[in-house]
Amino acid sequence: MTVKSNHVTIKGIKDGLVFLFDDNCEFEALLEELRYKLEHSHQNILTGPIIHVDVKFGMRVISDEEKEALLDILKQKGNLLIRSVDTPGVVTEEDTAKITTMCGMIRSGQVLHHEGNLLFLGDVNPGGTITCTGDILILGALRGMAHAGYTGNEEAVIAASYLAPTQLRIAEIISRPPDEWENRETSMEFAFLREGKMQIDKITNMLRVRPDLNVFKGV
């Protein structure tokens, strides 16, 4: 039997191997190609000392049974030791439950405080404020103030359909002054921290910063 597809990519790194699984092909094709590569084209990696393996499923939504089926194939090979399994595409009920959706409008002088992650459908006007312990995603205009991760969570992000705030704050890091927001494209952006400094990027790149936010994909 010859398997010519490239649904399974095996890459060598400094301290082990990375198995990258195509997240678009049929699941059975992954199983077939993984077995073939381990038993034929990559048989040499199964001889010798223990090799640490990192498994990456990409954005595939995979069940526990499917994940175990693939991992079992690797575990059957005596010198492959699974070190990590990355499944950013899997959104559990627990993940979904952590996100609260609210709608309306926050006017000047109003403060909306939420424990956890918030999906807000509406506008935040100048003088209005949203504070959250987790992430803030606004489907609308953010012209007021937003403070995500206010208890110290530096992994939190702030995203908005129209980002023109008076102030952004993540954990204890405060954004640049409001006058620096002028004369720039402001649609579909998000703020995040990198090395202690606030960065702004397009929402399309948000999953690169926070893969676990796949629950927001397509919103």
**What does the domain layout of the chain look like in residue ranges?**
8-86, 93-216
pLDDT tens digits in sequence order for the chain, 219 residues long = 444 468 899 898 888 889 999 888 888 988 999 998 888 766 677 777 788 899 998 878 788 888 889 989 988 877 888 888 887 766 555 554 478 888 889 999 999 998 889 999 999 999 999 999 999 999 999 999 999 999 999 999 999 999 999 999 999 999 865 555 555 557 889 999 998 899 999 988 888 888 777 544 444
Question: Identity (one letter) of the amino acid at 145?
Answer: M
CATH number for the domain running over 93-216: 2.160.20.70
The pLDDT of residue 24 = 84
Give the C-alpha separation, 23 to 217, whole Å. 15
**CATH fold for domain 8-86:** Double Stranded RNA Binding Domain (3.30.160)
Neighbours of 198 (CB within 10 A): 17
Task: Point out which residues pair with 16 in neighbouring strands.
Answer: 13
The pTM of the full predicted model, rounded to 2 decimals, is: 0.55
Element (H, E) at 129: strand 129-132
Measured N-to-C along each axis, helices 27-36 and 64-75 cross at an angle, to the nearest 10 degrees, of 0
The pLDDT of residue 141 = 94
The pLDDT of residue 1 = 43
The pLDDT of residue 92 = 58
The pLDDT of residue 219 = 41
The pLDDT of residue 94 = 58
